[in-house]
Every structure is written in C-alpha cells, then in structure tokens.
C-alpha cells in the first residue's frame, strides 16, 4: 500500500494536462477581453458610418434611408 502512495505522489503525468488547461484559460480570457473591447469599437464605427450614409439632407426633416 505504501508503494501505491509513493508512486501516486511521484506521478507527474497529470501535471502537463493541468498546465495546458491553465494556459488555455489565460489565452481564452485574453481572446474574450479582446472580443469585448473590439466589439464595442466595431459597433461605434458601424454606427458612425451608418449615420454618415443616412444623414438628414440640408433643410430636410427626415433621413434619406
């Protein structure tokens, strides 16, 4: 029984999987943060472009879109 516990403590085969999971979590958080930030910027850009395309003509009261 002590040999089982000694071998269990020395076994490092799961360490690599834990390290990969940690790296994956960090990379995933970075991607999610970038998507959140860039999503807002892209939305602002599209809204600005749409406002320039569908602007109210001079002297008009409604947009041309």
**pLDDT tens for each residue of 20-41:** 889 999 999 999 999 998 988 8
The b-or-e profile of 12-43 (16+ CB within 10 A means b, else e) is eeeeeeeeeeeeeeeeeeeeeeeeeeeeeeee
CA 40 – CA 36 distance, rounded (Å): 7
Structure tokens at 61: 């009261």
Across the chain, mean pLDDT equals: 80
Which is higher by pLDDT, 2 or 59?
Answer: 2
């Amino acid at each position: 029984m002590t040999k089982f516990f000694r071998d269990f403590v020395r076994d490092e085969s799961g360490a690599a999987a834990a390290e990969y999971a940690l790296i994956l979590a960090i990379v995933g958080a970075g991607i999610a943060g970038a998507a959140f930030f860039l999503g807002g910027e892209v939305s602002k850009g599209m809204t600005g472009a749409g406002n320039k395309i569908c602007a109210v003509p001079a002297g008009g009261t409604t947009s041309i879109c």
